[in-house]
Structure 1
Amino acid sequence: MVLLFSTDPDGICHIETSGLDGESNLKQKQVVRRYAEQDSEVDPEKFSSRIECESPNNDLNRFRGFLEHSNKERVGLSKENLLLRGCTIRNTEAVMGIVVYAGHETKAMLNNSGPRYKRSKLERRANTDVLWCVLLLAIMCLTGALGHGIWLSRYENIPFFNIPEPDGHTTSPVLAGFYMFWTMIILLQVLIPISLYVSIEIVKLGQIYFIQSDVDFYNEKMGSTVQCRALNITEDLGQIQYLFSDKTGTLTENKMVFRRCSVAGFDYCHEENGEC
């Protein structure tokens, strides 16, 4: 939404974008020039300007366009004049603007790619190998069907390969090749290792049993062991692919622990947290 009015006397608007980029500090948005000098609210029914901006995209840090007034005066628009979907207005009583992107064309919706399904390296490799097996099966069956049709078209009087119907008519080479394709699919379908997936799932069940039975994972304070709630990434446990760091201490814990101190020459210590 392009900001056209704000109750702030300086024509600014404070917003919080924690829902978009995780930042909780407030950001300032500026009312479009010429509208910032107005003391009264903008009347939507009297809005006669024309806005031209770029096509919908997922770039949260860019917005280009211009606003053309009724007197043909053009005012440039930037990201400082745009309120994004998902933002929260703070320290501002009311704002007013005109919507330029709505529905699935907003930047927030274009950045929403949906949930990511976690797959292990073994599962991705197995899926790739099965696809190659399906492609090889299709090539073999298609080759056999074409060869069968070509053979019957050249040697029509071989009853072993082309069994006649009860009325004495024989099947055409094209239809016989079609039947042969599906016959070879049935005969060669063992090429696709369906049992491989069953074997992998059984192995994963064994891994989960040993993980939950490991005494090194037992938590004495909670009185419980580790719980495996998924079967898809057990074989990738312990392998680091991405390492995230944050300066705000999100991944760390600032904790002060009393170990020992000396008061009037007498040493006080904590047996659990320090050595006496």
Structure 2
Amino acid sequence: MVLLFSTDPDGICHIETSGLDGESNLKQRQVVRGYTEQDSEVDPEKFSSRIECESPNNDLNRFRGFLEHSNRERVGLSKENLLLRGCTIRNTEAVMGIVVYAGHETKAMLNNSGPRYKRSNLERRANTDVLCCVLLLIIMCLTGALGHGIWLSRYENIPFFNIPEPDGHVISPVLGGFYMFWTMIILLQVLIPISLYVSIEIVKLGQIYFIQSDVDFYNEKMDSTVQCRALNITEDLGQIQYLFSDKTGTLTENKMVFRRCSVAGFDYCHEENGECWVSMKTSLKIGRFCTHLMTW
């Protein structure tokens, strides 16, 4: 929706887009230039301007277009003038605007492609290997069928192994090659490792059992061990090299505890929350004293 009116005297609207991009900080949106000076609400029946904008897309940070007034004056539109579906208005009593995207053309709907299935590296590698095996099987069967058809076509007379049908009709080389293709499919189907997926799932169950039974993961306060809620998580645990986190509450358990502070080189610690460290000056004095003794 293009913002045309806001109860804020500066024509500003504050919105929260945590439902779209996960950011909880407030963002500002500005009324379209030319409507900021209006003191009253926009009357939809008297709206005579024309809006032309880009086609619907899923980019939340881009919006291009212009608004053409009745006097042919054009005003540029950007993302600062757009209120997205799914955002929440904050610190603003009321706003008014005109809808430019609706239904399945909104950016929120275009970004909602459904849940994405997460595949592990091992599963992706197994799928690639199985596809290679299928392609190899098709190539081998096509080669065998083509060779069988060419071999039958070289016989001038009916070969003894080519048994005719009850009505006396003999199978043509093309039809014989077609039958040979499916015959080789049946014979060489063991090339595709169908049981590989079953074996991988059994191994995953065993890994999860050992992880949940590990005593080192036992939490005395919660009286519980680690819980694996996904089978494919065990495959990528051993490949983790870096761990990034932007939520400090996850690491600090939402607790801010005073442990110690340093004033003029001396550490003042809390007896219950932190262990006292030897001050920097004291450490330097001890180091110098030990060095002096060693020189003697």
- CA distances 1:158-206 after superposition (whole Å, capped 9, x unpaired): 4355321011101122222111111111010000011222222222222
- CA distances 1:216-269 after superposition (whole Å, capped 9, x unpaired): 112222222222232223122243266323376554446355889999999999
Tell me which moved more, 184-193 or 59-68.
59-68
> Does the 8 Å CA contact 1:260/1:269 hold for their aligned counterparts?
yes
1:150 matched residue in structure 2: 150
Q: Could you tell me which runs of 5 or more consecutive residues in structure 2 were left unpaired when the two chains were aligned.
A: 276-296
- In the aligned structure 1, how far is the partner of 2:171 from the partner of 2:90? 79
Alpha-carbon deviation of 1:80? 1.4
1:250/1:101 CA distance change after superposition, 3 Å: farther
1:256/1:139 CA distance change after superposition, 3 Å: same
> Does the 8 Å CA contact 1:118/1:233 hold for their aligned counterparts?
no
- In the aligned structure 1, how far is the partner of 2:126 from the partner of 2:148? 33
Q: Could you tell me which runs of 5 or more consecutive residues in structure 1 were left unpaired when the two chains were aligned.
A: none
1:260/1:233 CA distance change after superposition, 3 Å: closer
Matches within 5 A, 1:193-272: 193-240=193-240, 243-246=243-246, 251-253=251-253, 255=255
1:138/1:161 CA distance change after superposition, 3 Å: farther
> Does the 8 Å CA contact 1:152/1:161 hold for their aligned counterparts?
no
Alpha-carbon deviation of 1:210? 1.5
- CA distances 1:88-137 after superposition (whole Å, capped 9, x unpaired): 01122221111112223222333334323222222111111111000000
- TM-score, reference length from structure 1: 0.86
1:42/1:139 CA distance change after superposition, 3 Å: same
- In the aligned structure 1, how far is the partner of 2:106 from the partner of 2:11? 24
* Aligned pairs, number: 275
- TM-score, reference length from structure 2: 0.81
1:97 matched residue in structure 2: 97
1:125/1:175 CA distance change after superposition, 3 Å: same
- In the aligned structure 2, how far is the partner of 1:50 from the partner of 1:270? 67
Aligned partner of residue 176 in structure 2, secondary structure: helix
- In the aligned structure 1, how far is the partner of 2:272 from the partner of 2:241? 35
1:255/1:12 CA distance change after superposition, 3 Å: closer
Greater fraction helix: 2
Alpha-carbon deviation of 1:27? 1.9
- In the aligned structure 1, how far is the partner of 2:265 from the partner of 2:59? 64
> Does the 8 Å CA contact 1:65/1:78 hold for their aligned counterparts?
yes
1:161/1:84 CA distance change after superposition, 3 Å: farther
> Does the 8 Å CA contact 1:119/1:233 hold for their aligned counterparts?
no
- Compute the RMSD of aligned alpha carbons: 3.8
Instruction: Using the aligned pairs only, state the percent identity.
Output: 96
1:151/1:101 CA distance change after superposition, 3 Å: same
- CA distances 1:34-92 after superposition (whole Å, capped 9, x unpaired): 22222222122222211111222233222221111111111111221111122101122
